[in-house]
Amino acid sequence: MQDLDGRRALVTGASSGLGRHFAALLAQHGVAVTLAARRTDALDEAAAEIVAQGGRADTVRLDVRDPATIAAAFAGSAYDIVVNNAGIVHGGPTIDVAEDDWTRVIDTDLSGVFRVAQAAAGAMVAGGRGGSIVNIASILGLRVTSYVAAYAAAKAGVVQLTRALALEWAPHGIRVNALCPGYVETDLNRGFLASRAGQAMIARIPQGRVGMAQDLDGPLLLLASDAGRYMTGADIVVDGGHMVSGL
């Protein structure tokens, strides 16, 4: 991963969970990271932790639903790596899901990825150096479970969007890949994982446990660095075997 040293990355949704972890991971490998999200206090805290450990980090307020904040984050930037990680979930029986909740999830988890990827590619093309875009999808983009229809539809969209962007942007030296994690305990799912249904679900994971953020380190670094230089349009599943759980 030596090629990562000195590169620049922007990570969305870096104020908590996986995004915060990915930002720290890239910084440990010499990347100057920009942590982006809406909660600036949490971003500042995460960036300060990285700097205290000898890394390089700054922050920018970015709402993936607000194109003006995205444009501001990319103005004058030269990111080699962009991790499209921001995401939300809305749970509940789909027959009762309100239009607003459906729209919020699709707009954040799918349209947000499109907006940030488009801005990233525009800057990468202008810079003439290409780059790597890593979209954080989910195994729910490839399979389904009950009560998260908007999330599953958005993540499936991210997988297919990744392929479409990879095809269009390969001539510019831009690689676009998707990481599809299984369940990793974060703020997004802590309540569900602690529930009876969550515990039953964990029992069905072949490796017998939920993931830890660190389980994603190798695949994230692979996609971000030149170690994955001949990979584009791929989706990598990291799920302890959940996708192949027995019927």
Report the interface residues with ligand NDP, using CB under 6 A. 12-13, 15-19, 37-39, 42, 62-65, 85-88, 108, 136, 138, 181, 183-184, 186-189
The CB-of-144 to ligand NDP minimum distance in angstroms stands at: 14
Residue (126 or 203) nearer to ligand NDP, CB: 203
Residue (3 or 217) nearer to ligand NDP, CB: 217
Tokens linked to 11 = 């990570």
Residue (100 or 230) nearer to ligand NDP, CB: 100
The CB-of-5 to ligand NDP minimum distance in angstroms stands at: 26
CA proximity to 22, closest of 192, 205, 216: 216
Is residue 151 annotated as part of the catalytic site, yes or no? yes
The CB-of-125 to ligand NDP minimum distance in angstroms stands at: 24
Is residue 230 annotated as part of the catalytic site, yes or no? no
User: With contact defined as beta carbons under 8 Å apart, do 84 and 110 qualify?
Assistant: no
Is residue 155 annotated as part of the catalytic site, yes or no? yes
The CB-of-41 to ligand NDP minimum distance in angstroms stands at: 9
Residue (19 or 131) nearer to ligand NDP, CB: 19
The active-site residue, picked from 79, 151, 183, 225, is: 151
Residue (17 or 157) nearer to ligand NDP, CB: 17
Residue with tokens 């997004």: 188
User: With contact defined as beta carbons under 8 Å apart, do 214 and 20 qualify?
Assistant: no
The CB-of-6 to ligand NDP minimum distance in angstroms stands at: 26
The active-site residue, picked from 15, 77, 138, 225, is: 138
For residue 5, with 0-12 CB atoms within 10 Å meaning exposed, 13-18 middle and 19 or more buried, which class applies? exposed
The active-site residue, picked from 15, 77, 155, 183, is: 155
| Residues involved in catalysis | 138, 151, 155
